[in-house]
Amino acid sequence: MKKTSARIAMIGYQFMGRAHANAWRQAGHFCNPALKPELKVVCGRDAQAAGDAAQTLGFAESDTSWERVVQRDDIDIVDICTPGDSHAPIAIAAAEAGKAVLCEKPLANTVAEAQAMERAAEAAGIVHMLCHNYRRVPAVALAKRLIEEDRLGRIFHFRGTYLQDWILDPEFPLVWRLQKARAGSGALGDIGSHSLDLARHLVGEILEVSGHLATFVEQRPLEDGSGTGPVDVDDAAISLLRFENGAIGTMEASRFAAGRKNANCFEINGEKGSLSFDLERLNELEFYEENGSESGFRTILATDESHPFVEGWWPPGHILGYEHSFTNTVVDFLAAVAAGQPASPNFSDGVQNLQVLEAVERSANSRHWERVVVS
């Protein structure tokens, strides 16, 4: 009998857990997805907190063991919303148990872990997806469409910045995002990975990088108040990029950009025009056409039905938000799972993204240009 629903197990329930739970619920109630999500079980390490999360986020049950959850016969999709050090073991076990897997970015903490995940997913023949949700912001998808329609012509420049300021205070504690063993890297993997995913998605593959990493506050208070500990990840990352198609670019990711809260921005310049986007004004896309009747950039309010990912939400001008990018992502994932077709971006994109991150780190250490190693 044809399946009409998909039973979800979500691992992790804080920031991304809340964003994903909201997306699964919205998808089911509002978007008529190919499979209706059933929020079966949410998993965390603390029984009380996981139980509370199940109540708040709308899951039928909670559990404290992801190992148990991924083996359950009544689960179809495992959604990984935990820090990077647990992505590989959870995704590999879930794939081996035949579950479709949606995983948060960056795919893993190292290229080797990401490749093991890709191998396990391919060997099991499961549908896998990586949550670079910004690809599904309507204005970003419109930028992609305009590039595919050759409205920019040959692309010369990509300028990606992802700027935040939440750890400016040196007394901010040493949370998992500031620990290499848990997060893999700092601003580079956390937010630079999004910028580099957009670079790959919109412009093309990156061949070579010249990177620099900086850690401005090297000791921070431990979360349990027992002293201080070393910050062993970057607070800011910056890199020159050389693309396969001849374009050149820059990527800058920082958590020390005072006043910038979640400024995921890019500008792309081509022979026929330019595009510019800022997540803090996410309904808008700036477009300049060299042969336009007027000179200057114009602002497109990317909320028309004809714009990607808008149909099914609200009438033109009725503004979408951050959360819609996640709902759009899970709706497409459910369609891929229903059809047994590859999702995009997927674990292979995650491997390629990590190969660029790894090259930036290598270059920061060698102080030379480094090639992105593709294997």
| Identity of the residue, 93 or 310, whose beta carbon is nearer to ligand NAD in the bound complex | 93
Tokens representing 15 are 């920031």
β-sheet with 155-163: strand ranges across = 298-301, 284-289, 273-278, 263-270, 155-163, 248-254, 236-243, 206-214, 370-371
Q: Is 261 in the site for ligand NAD (CB under 6 A)?
A: no
Residues 155, 137: Cα–Cα separation, whole Å:
22
Rounded least distance, CB 13 to ligand NAD, Å: 4
Count of residues that interact with ligand NAD, criterion CB under 6 A: 21
Q: Closest CB to ligand NAD among 109 and 239?
A: 109
Q: Per rule CB under 6 A, is residue 324 in the interface with ligand NAD?
A: no
* Stretch in the footprint of ligand NAD (CB under 6 A) among 2-10, 76-84, 161-169, 367-375: 76-84
* Using rule CB under 6 A, residue 115 touches ligand NAD: no
Told to check if 136 binds ligand NAD by CB under 6 A, we report no
Q: Which among 30-38, 79-87, 206-214, 275-283 is the span making contact with ligand NAD, rule CB under 6 A?
A: 79-87
Distance CA 372, CA 367 (A): 15
**Choice between 26 and 82, CB closer to ligand NAD:** 82
Strand order in the sheet with 61-63: 61-63, 36-43, 5-11, 77-80, 100-104, 128-131
Does 160 sit near ligand NAD (CB under 6 A)? no
45 binds ligand NAD (CB under 6 A): yes
357 binds ligand NAD per the rule CB under 6 A? no
Q: Is 12 in the site for ligand NAD (CB under 6 A)?
A: yes
Residues 163, 331: contact at Cβ < 8 Å? no
CB-nearer residue toward ligand NAD: 182 or 371? 182
For position 245 contacting ligand NAD by CB under 6 A, the verdict is no
Instruction: Retrieve residue 320's tokens.
Output: 């979408």
Name the β-bridge partners of 9.
Answer: 41, 78
C-alpha dihedral (243, 237, 263, 85), degrees to nearest 10: 100
- Any contact of residue 257 with ligand NAD (CB under 6 A)? no
CB–CB of 198/155 below 8 Å? no
Q: To which H or E segment does residue 124 belong?
A: helix 111-124
Per CB under 6 A, does 192 bind ligand NAD?
Answer: no
Amino acid at 270: G
Q: Cα(13)–Cα(48) distance, rounded to whole angstroms?
A: 12
Do 40 and 61 touch, CB atoms closer than 8 A? yes
Q: Does 163 bind ligand NAD (CB under 6 A)?
A: no
From candidates 37, 69, 77, 82, binder to ligand NAD by CB under 6 A: 82
Q: Is 43 in the site for ligand NAD (CB under 6 A)?
A: yes
Which residues of the shown chain bind ligand NAD in the complex (CB under 6 A)? 11-17, 43-45, 66, 81-84, 86, 104-105, 131, 133, 190
